[in-house]
Structure 1
Amino acid sequence: MYAIAPEHHLNALVLALTTGFKDPTPSVADDDATLMHRYRHGDVDAFRELYGRYHKRLHRYLLRLANRAADAEEVFQDVWAAVIRGRSDFRAQTSFASWLFAIAHRRAADRFRLLDRHAPEWRSDSEDEAGIDDLVATDAIAPERVAHSEALGVALLEAIAALPPLQREAFLLKAEGELTLDQIASITGTSRETVKSRLRYAQVRLRKALEAWQ
């Protein structure tokens, strides 16, 4: 059984489930690159601010990707250590979020490989999409229902955990990473259209799994 996340922790998942796949609107306050520039030049406070912005999103992504708290925690620590070691490799033209989640993607794959598990990218789309034609898209679940129903929130997390790995990772990179389709494609080594397909299949499966709540 999955512990229910606080209400605001489910918001990103609900939005990803109930909306389309438009890329996020850039924020005028988004100065991650500036913070990384400062950190590269010795400003530890800049790193603390970046960590404050991203640590919860990153941890949720890893926890829901791995489905094991111990694995998620180990990869989480490894990712931030990699950020510290590799800060000189960051380029201002790169989105910090995309760079961070790309590191997380690779470290998670390494962790799965060490444990002799199937990492998401080792599964084929044909395997993940088996039986998808039997699923029928249903009406979206109202976000406020998830926010105020503990049982529905748990059901949503369990449905995400049951997604085929490729679809689950694409969904989590979109929902928790708040990445663009092109960024997800770059991280996962596939095309924008393939990412859109995986997200669409993930939405269909999640809505089907939760249709009793509609």
Structure 2
Amino acid sequence: MSTAPEPTDDELMSAYARGDAAAFERLYTRHQAGLYRFVRRLLGPSLAAQADEVFQDTWLKVVNARTQWAPQGATFRTWLFTLAHHRVIDIWRRSGREVSATTDDDTPWEPEGDAAWAQWPAATSPAPHSEELAFWRRAGERLLRCLDELPLAQRSAFLLHHDDELPLADVARALEVGFETAKTRLRYAMSKLRVCMGAYLAPLQQGEVR
């Protein structure tokens, strides 16, 4: 007996636009964990209390946009993260934080020598490799603290690419910037994370437990 293929996000959203409430429930189930994680980490500890508000507002925007929604090149997930990113920017501005639109004044840090930095993952691939994901995830809480020190634009690019596994092209769409701008933000973010984390991860490079 053949099994019907799982509907795509676009198909579910189209069904929801036609009044199928169950289609929305399936979309919500698919993306709630990833979206909440993205929102929570983007806001950081200082604005963590606003995470539920941003999360709920993002889904409310999906509900309100259902009748006008149509695929426009980006995936539903990318569009969903774009909505969340807009709300996070609103929260940052409301809290009095500066949200820089560019990173032109940033100077990317480059490691000296080859000891602890020889195998740090690059930020130039169109999609993150499994070894890159494993490397960053093993950094644990230390990485989260360093992420909180990044400018919002760079933190967004890093989380979308390395945590939510979006290709750089989709990162650019989600942040509504050009591909090269997204790539630059990601490169700056990774350079600053190298500085923040220092030699902390050097033992992990060799498979040691710290």
Which TM-score bucket, shorter chain as reference?
0.7 to 0.9
**Matching of residue 71 in structure 1 with residue 50 in structure 2:** yes
Q: Does 1:33 align with 2:10?
A: yes
Larger Rg: 2
Offset at 1:46? 1.2
Whether the 8 Å contact between 2:109 and 2:192 is mirrored in structure 1 is no
Q: Does the aligned pair in 2 maintain the 1:40–1:87 contact within 8 Å?
A: yes
**Contact 2:157/2:171, CA 8 A, preserved across alignment:** yes
Aligned to 2:22: 45
1:126 corresponds to 2:104: yes
CA shift for structure 1 position 154: 0.8
Q: Counterpart in 1 of 2:185? A: 198
Secondary structure in structure 1 of the residue aligned to 2:109: helix
| 1:90 and 2:69 are equivalent in the alignment | yes
Distance 1:133 1:96 in 2: 35
Shift in alpha-carbon separation, 1:85–1:195, aligned structure 2, 3 A: same
Measure, in 2, the Cα distance between the counterparts of 1:69 and 1:79. 16
Select the structure with the greater relative contact order (CA < 8 A; seq sep ≥ 6).
1
Distance 1:145 1:135, change over 3 A: closer
Report the TM-score when normalising by structure 2: 0.74
Q: Give the structure 2 partner of residue 103 of structure 1.
A: 83
Query: Which of 177, 185, 190 does residue 172 from structure 2 map onto?
Result: 185
**C-alpha contact 2:110 2:191 (8 A) present in aligned 1:** no
Q: CA deviation at 1:183?
A: 2.8
> In structure 1, how many angstroms separate the alpha carbons of the residues matched to 2:171 and 2:7?
19
When residues 140 and 76 of structure 1 are mapped into structure 2, their CA distance, relative to the original with a 3 A threshold, is same
Q: Distance in 2 between matches of 1:209 and 1:199?
A: 15
CA-to-aligned-CA distance 1:134-161 (integer Å, 9 cap, x gap): 65582238766776x6xx4110111111
Asked if structure 2 preserves the Cα contact closer than 8 Å seen for 1:97 and 1:177, the reply is: no
Q: How many Å separate the matches in 2 of 1:201 and 1:69?
A: 24
Summarize the Cα distance change of 1:123–1:135 in structure 2 as closer, same or farther, 3 Å threshold. farther
8 Å CA contact 2:109, 2:191 repeated in 1: no
Residues in 1 aligned to 2:109 and 2:90: alpha-carbon distance in whole angstroms: 33
Q: How many residues align?
A: 180
Q: What value does the CA root-mean-square deviation take over the aligned residues?
A: 2.6
SS in 1 for 2:104: helix
Displacement of 1:81: 0.7
* Residues in 2 aligned to 1:116 and 1:86: alpha-carbon distance in whole angstroms: 29
Q: Does the CA contact (< 8 Å) of 2:54 and 2:84 recur in 1?
A: yes
Q: Structure 1: 5+ residue runs without aligned partners?
A: 1-27
